[in-house]
Each structure stands twice: as C-alpha cells, then as structure tokens.
A and B are shown apart, each in its own frame.
Chain A
C-alpha cells in the first residue's frame, strides 16, 4: 500500500526543486489561469496550447520528470474523453459551427470536436502543471507555503498555525495509516472477509470491519501524538521558531519575472485578438514548397 506515493515527490536536486515553494504555488495558480484563456480563432487556440505544452515539457525535463508517467496518469482520461465527445456531438451547438460530414441523417459539426479537444488539452496541461509542482516540492514545504499565504487571515483570528500543523501532521501520517489499512485488511481477510466480491450486505460488513479499526487506530494515534507533542513543549498558542525556513533567492526572482512575462504576453495576445494561425499556415506552405 505504501507504493501509492502521494503526489509522487521525486527527490532530485534540479533548479525547480530548489525554487521557493511559495513561488511555485503562485506560479501554479497563474499558469492554471493561463490554461483557460480562449482565443477567437480555433487555430490560435491550438497554437497557444501548443506553446504552453512545449513550455511545460521543458519544465518537466528540467525537473527530471519522466514524460511516460504523465501519460500513465492520463490513461483514465481517454475513456472519459470519448464519452464526452459523444455527448458534445449531440448537444454542443454554437453559431459559428461548420458541418463536417453526415452519418445517415445525423450531421457531425466541427465545434463539438474542437470543444472536446480543448477540454482534453486543458486537462492535460493542468495535470502536467500539478505534476511539476508535486514532483519537485516536498509535501511539507507545500504546507509551509500554504501557511504563509494564509497569514493575512491571522488578522481575523483564523487559527492559521494550528491548521498548518494539522495539515502537515496529516501528511506525515498518511503512509502510516495506509500501512495500517493493509494490515487490517490482511487480518479481516484471514477471517473470511472478501473485499472484492460478495453481496451488498457483505460489502457493507467488509467496509465496516475495515473502517472501525482504522478509526480506532487514528484516534489512538492522535491521543499518543498529543501527549508526545505536549511533552516536548509544544504549545499551539505560544511563540515558536522554525527549523525549515523559506528564503527567496535570485532564481526565484528570475522565475517570477518569467512567469509574469508569460502572463502579460498571453493577456496582450488575448486583448489584441492576435491570431498566429494564418502565419503558421503560411509557414507550412513555405516549408512544403521548399521540399517540392
């Protein structure tokens, strides 16, 4: 059960790994929003996505992420996409659509196909972005980043530190609880429980036989943990220093500027309704011409 490495942090020492987690977090949000920019022409949308994808591929290469693992994540999506395509073919209608071909009496338009493709590509981009973040950032560093962003909430007496501590403890203990789940399942299977098959009532019993002991374990863990933390002087309301501190460095500054430039560039393209599609088509013709 331990093999389900949550978020799959890959311990390498790349440039991206060394970036401040707060910067990475903000960059994620900015780039996620860029994924949703929508240009008027179909061609431009695809070109834009293409550029984004190339940028992400470069980032993945820098982070030493195997591209193969990205596609593994998407396996589950294919099915959903085909399903979505069929729904869209029947229901998605926009004024600018064009007929492509007909199957008997049914007309297949281009807009639903493009729409499905857009959704697919956006998902691909979002998954890639998230993968880059989680592969290069330790879960605990992520929670430190989130805690930092939540600081303004302290003004309204929101328990920022306590939430962050709870979050980091939860992350710390997920592998342990996963192991425990495996152990409980072994014990109950040895008593005749079938976690895979069985009637509905048997399935309920099976889940109860897993959940109750798991909760008991979790509660015992919390109690023991709170004694241990208190014994080591922990006081959630008192001041405490931090061992791991986040420092903004030059690399973070450059990266941030880069992200902002990308964002600004994309906004400009959008506002001025720039369309590279004709340019790209001409380029293709030129190249074709060269080869003839």
Chain B
C-alpha cells in the first residue's frame, strides 16, 4: 500500500461564506507499484483528493497514510488527544466513536509526515504544467526541485540531465530559455522537473490535455515505462483510452465520494450508458453492436484489428 485514505472529509474555507464540502468519508487504498487511474466528472473531487497525497491540503477530518507516514488534520499529538476526547465523549454516536477508535489506532501505529521528505517522494504534475517554468535556462529549471530537497548543485544537474533525457529533451536545449520552447517541449521540461526529484509516487493530472494524438501517446508510454520501473502512478484523466491501455486499477469518483475501485476491464464490461464516465469510442461501438445481438466477446478485443478479426470469425461461422 502506497497511499491510504481513512475516513477523510475535506471542506474548503470552513466557517466562511465560501464554505464548500469537497470530500465525504473517503476510504481508499492505492496499491504500491500500481498504475491507478482516477476518473469522474469535473467537480467530483479528483483534484482535491490528489492534493492530500502530498499534504498541499490537510484533511478536515480523517487521516491520509502515505509511505507509512501519517497526514493528520492538526499536529499528531493534538490529533490523538482530540480523538481520545471523542471516544470518551457522551455526546458522540457509537458510529463516530468507532471511527475515532480506528483512526486513533492508525495514528498510534505510524508517525507524522515530514513535509520536505513527503514532497520529495510524492511528485505531482498539475494540468498544463508549463506555467510552473520560471528559470533562465531549461537545465536550471529542472534542477530547481532537487535543489530544494537538499541535493548539491552537481547532483541536481545530473538528476536534471537524466530526467530531460527520459522525456526526450537533448543537450541542445539545456542552456536555452524555457520560454522559447514550443508548447509540447515546455510540457516535457516541466514533467522532467518533477521526474528529477525521483519520486516513488507520481501523480499526473491530465498530463496529455491539449496534446496532439501522437505526442499524447508518446507521453503515456513514458509514464508506463516509469511505472514498470516500480513507481506508483496515479493518473487523473478523462481519456478512457488511457484507462483502458495503461491502468491496472481505476477509482471512480462522484460528488466527492469514491464510488468504487476496480479494474479497467471490469469497469468497461459492466457499463452501459452510465453517466459517470464515457466509454472509449471503440468500446461504445462494440457495446452498441452487442446490443443489436452480435455475440462479441468484448473482453478479448483491444483494438480495431481485433474487432475485424472477431467479426470475420463470427460471420464466417454464420
């Protein structure tokens, strides 16, 4: 287990006119070395959820366990006392007390997170990450992250070069200003900036938004490679093709709650016209063919070629 949410609730700007509940009783485990996709409508809480994993946001209640360190609403000692109070209180329901008991157990088992360490282990690539670029040269910008986490100038430069190499940016770019690059190149530099920190959990928020189909595919293949090297990947996306082709697990969010966690196969096999997500076009097509009575085995078909072969077979037998 890389990340575990326990009874997490989150409210933006509590006790103000802008108060807004975003997450409701989230209980979720993200497996280590998995490629987990997080899907759901805009406003379902995906961005809020991922910002808890590197403690950009602290839960309003509940705990988040990341790499065996605990993120709590307030300092851990104060939090434990708070939980103890709830357990002893006569005004709380049994359900609330049980939750508090299990949270107390968790908070006694693990120690509190350390911000710098957590942020170096959990890398987040936000949507349109190009805007985070600010240094005079590409190399300087990519080494910014490692430098902040205590690496020496030399080490940071090496990490930067390695990361840039991974995203396909060669040495001719090192001394150029990030602002002269094309949109796609800027995006790759920004991603290199996160990879250079060598996180063991990599969170990606719609990394291919706005990219053309080929660049999008190349980028996803890079992330898949990183996953194969043992990094836990969490991908927030609207692109069902990505979920289908790369994810090992899918978390479906709706209205601030986790609706379910499952595998892509299971998800697509059991959906018919559900409004939470839209199917990849090919799957939609196949479902519609099946609705007309075609005995397609959707599970075994990955692309158009498989479909053609399958139909040929079915018709051949007919």
Residues 195-231 of A, flagged 1 when their CB comes within 8 A of B and 0 if not, give 0000000000000110011001100000000000000
B116 touches A192 (CB 8 A): yes
Number of CB contacts from chain A to chain B under 8 A: 58
Is A2 on the interface with B (CB-CB < 8 A)? yes
B13 touches A3 (CB 8 A): yes
A190 touches B16 (CB 8 A): no
Stretch at the interface among A40-48, A89-97, A179-187: A179-187
Q: Once bound together, how far apart are the Cα atoms of A183 and B194, in whole Å?
A: 16
A216 touches B119 (CB 8 A): no
Q: Once bound together, how far apart are the Cα atoms of A192 and B56, in whole Å?
A: 11
B181 to chain A minimum Cβ distance, whole angstroms, is: 13
User: B-side interface residues toward A, CB under 8 Å?
Assistant: 13, 16, 18, 51, 54, 56, 116, 119-120, 123-124, 126, 129, 131-134, 144-145, 147-149, 179, 193-194, 197
A-B contact pairs, 13 of them (CB 8 A): A3-B16, A184-B131, A186-B56, A190-B56, A191-B119, A191-B145, A191-B194, A191-B197, A192-B119, A192-B144, A192-B145, A209-B132, A213-B131
A191 touches B126 (CB 8 A): no
Smallest CB-CB A-B distances: 9 pairs: A192-B148, A212-B134, A187-B132, A191-B145, A190-B124, A3-B18, A213-B131, A192-B149, A187-B126
Instruction: Please name the residue on chain B nearest to A198 by beta carbon.
Output: B148
Q: Once bound together, how far apart are the Cα atoms of A191 and B163, in whole Å?
A: 14
6 other A-B residue contacts (CB within 8 Å) besides A3-B13, A183-B131, A209-B132: A183-B126, A187-B129, A190-B126, A192-B148, A213-B132, A217-B131
Is A188 on the interface with B (CB-CB < 8 A)? yes
Q: Once bound together, how far apart are the Cα atoms of A188 and B56, in whole Å?
A: 11
Is A189 on the interface with B (CB-CB < 8 A)? yes
A140 to chain B minimum Cβ distance, whole angstroms, is: 21
Is A125 on the interface with B (CB-CB < 8 A)? no
B197 touches A192 (CB 8 A): yes
With A2-B18, A213-B133, A216-B131 already in contact, the answer to whether A189 and B13 are too (CB < 8 A) is no
Residues of chain A lying within 8 A (CB to CB) of residue B123: 190
A114 to chain B minimum Cβ distance, whole angstroms, is: 38
B129 touches A208 (CB 8 A): no
With A3-B13, A3-B18, A216-B179 already in contact, the answer to whether A191 and B148 are too (CB < 8 A) is yes
A5 to chain B minimum Cβ distance, whole angstroms, is: 9
Q: Once bound together, how far apart are the Cα atoms of A189 and B58, in whole Å?
A: 14
Residues of chain B lying within 8 A (CB to CB) of residue A189: 56, 119
A residues 214-269 in Cβ contact with B at 8 Å: 216-217
Q: Once bound together, how far apart are the Cα atoms of A51 and B316, in whole Å?
A: 97
Is A193 on the interface with B (CB-CB < 8 A)? yes
Q: Once bound together, how far apart are the Cα atoms of A189 and B122, in whole Å?
A: 12
Q: Once bound together, how far apart are the Cα atoms of A271 and B134, in whole Å?
A: 62
Residues of chain B lying within 8 A (CB to CB) of residue A209: 132, 134, 144
